[in-house]
């Protein structure tokens, strides 16, 4: 009988879509290992994004989530419970833990001690900082840092082929799957007069787009599954401080960062201190003229773009998805001495 894996992941306009994207990415890896997968999520747009013929996706009413999930856990009896819920309610997490029987529990991007104590494994690819660390604390195994980022395998392949061109011609704008601060419109508006550049502006699936002023040099795309490829074809990117920043840094695309929220600003500042991006700060505090000036500064300097490219390439190897998959396989097969690294 195959191992059964229940994945609880929340996303949406205010939470963003990065959690949903990375859990679907991980699920595809587990599917190849013969695991049976069952998704539970909180919004219809997440149901649509998670849709796949190999698994079912169930919609959870957040107000009734503890009771609903208790019933689902009792019926399903999973072997593995994966939870990726930003700042999930502690009582909700305790309810899941108490109802999951002998299932192993894995939390993603969780710092609170009270929550971490409920888990067998905590994976903090983002919250864990830039350096990799594996530790065991009070029976909970922690895997921290960029070695455990759930980036698509394609990112690693694009990393091997990306080159910084002498002339900067193409800029990609991607400011998150939901863009709760409306930074997409700000960045597009800032570059209306940058007619010497070709601007590819990619809005997220959960974004609430305002009407955009049209310009011949700006191409608008509403959601794409090909963002890594588009980044790899760009000379410069304007991104938020979430998963797209990690993808851009891994590939080596020189990037300007407008952070959506405080924890993204922390991430972007760490990269900026390493010379791996240009961080303008929290995006709603940044003026359009500052965005334009940053683009002009980088587009005019091949040396600066190449420096950012080289500084970032050493920070993320793009193999975290394989590492986390192996950690979970080991968790289900503890007779193995240790998880296989890559």
Token pair belonging to 32:
């190849």
pLDDT attached to residue 338? 55
Same domain for 101 and 174, yes or no, is no
Q: Which residue range is the domain that position 220 belongs to?
A: 153-313
Asked if residue 271 and residue 326 are part of one domain, the reply reads no
| DSSP reduced 3-state for 206 | coil
Cα(247)–Cα(113) distance, integer angstroms = 29
Give the length of the chain. Answer: 342
pLDDT of amino acid 341: 59
Q: What is the pLDDT of residue 340?
A: 54
Q: Check residue 214 and give its pLDDT.
A: 72
In this structure, the answer to whether residues 178 and 77 fall within a common structural domain is no
CATH code for the domain of 82 = 3.40.50.2000
pLDDT in tens, the chain (342 residues): 689 999 999 998 888 889 999 999 999 999 999 999 999 999 999 999 999 999 999 999 998 999 999 999 999 999 999 999 999 999 999 999 999 999 999 999 999 999 999 999 999 999 999 999 999 999 999 999 999 999 999 998 999 999 999 999 999 999 988 788 889 999 999 999 999 999 999 988 777 766 666 789 999 998 888 999 999 999 999 999 999 999 999 999 999 999 999 989 999 999 999 999 999 999 999 999 999 999 999 999 999 999 999 999 899 999 999 999 999 999 998 766 555 556
CA distances from 324 to 4, 146, 149, 296 (A): 17, 11, 8, 39
Residues 113 and 173 in one domain: no
Residue 339 lies in a domain: no
Same domain, 53 and 181: no
Number of structural domains in the chain: 2
Taking the C-alpha atoms of residue 272 and residue 306, their distance in angstroms, rounded to an integer, is 14
Same domain, 177 and 242: yes
pTM higher than 0.85: yes
Residue 193 lies in a domain: yes
Query: Distances from the Cα of 273 to the Cαs of 89, 237, 266, 299, 312, in angstroms?
Result: 33, 18, 11, 20, 11
Q: Which helix (H) or strand (E) holds 200?
A: strand 198-203
Q: Looking at the structure, do residues 191 and 138 belong to the same domain, yes or no?
A: no
- Same domain? For 182 and 58 the reply is no
What integer pLDDT is reported at residue 179 of this predicted model?
86
Do residues 65 and 159 both lie within one domain? no
pLDDT for 336 equals 60
């Amino acid at each position: 009988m195959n191992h059964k894996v229940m994945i609880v992941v929340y996303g949406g306009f205010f939470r963003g879509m990065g959690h949903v994207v990375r859990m679907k990415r991980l699920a595809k890896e587990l599917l190849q290992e013969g695991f049976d997968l069952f998704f539970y999520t909180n919004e219809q747009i997440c149901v649509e994004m998670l849709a796949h013929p190999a698994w079912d996706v169930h919609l959870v009413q957040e107000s009734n989530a503890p009771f609903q999930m208790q019933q689902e856990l009792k019926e399903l009896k999973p072997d593995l419970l994966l939870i990726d819920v930003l700042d999930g309610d502690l009582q909700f997490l305790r309810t899941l833990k108490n109802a999951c029987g002998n299932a192993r529990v894995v939390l993603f991007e969780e710092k609170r001690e009270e929550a971490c104590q409920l888990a067998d494994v905590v994976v903090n690819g983002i919250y864990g900082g830039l350096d990799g660390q594996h530790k065991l604390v009070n029976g909970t195994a922690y895997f921290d840092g960029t070695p455990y980022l759930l980036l698509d395998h394609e990112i690693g392949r694009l990393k091997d082929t990306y080159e910084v061109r002498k002339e900067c011609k193409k800029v990609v704008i991607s400011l998150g799957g939901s863009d709760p601060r409306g930074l997409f419109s700000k960045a597009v508006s800032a570059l209306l007069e940058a007619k010497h550049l070709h601007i590819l502006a990619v809005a997220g699936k959960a974004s609430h787009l305002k009407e955009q002023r049209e310009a011949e040099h700006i191409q608008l795309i509403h959601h794409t599954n090909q963002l890594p490829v588009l980044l790899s074809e760009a000379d410069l990117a304007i991104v938020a401080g979430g998963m797209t920043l990690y993808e851009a840094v891994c590939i080596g695309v020189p990037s300007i960062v407008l952070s959506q929220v405080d924890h993204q600003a922390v991430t972007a500042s760490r990269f900026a201190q390493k010379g791996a991006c240009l961080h303008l700060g929290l995006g709603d505090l940044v003026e359009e003229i500052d965005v334009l000036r940053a683009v002009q500064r980088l587009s005019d300097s091949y040396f600066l773009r190449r420096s950012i490219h080289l500084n970032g390439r050493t920070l993320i190897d793009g193999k975290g998805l394989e590492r986390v998959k192996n950690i979970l396989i080991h968790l289900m097969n503890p007779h193995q001495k240790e998880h296989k690294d890559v």
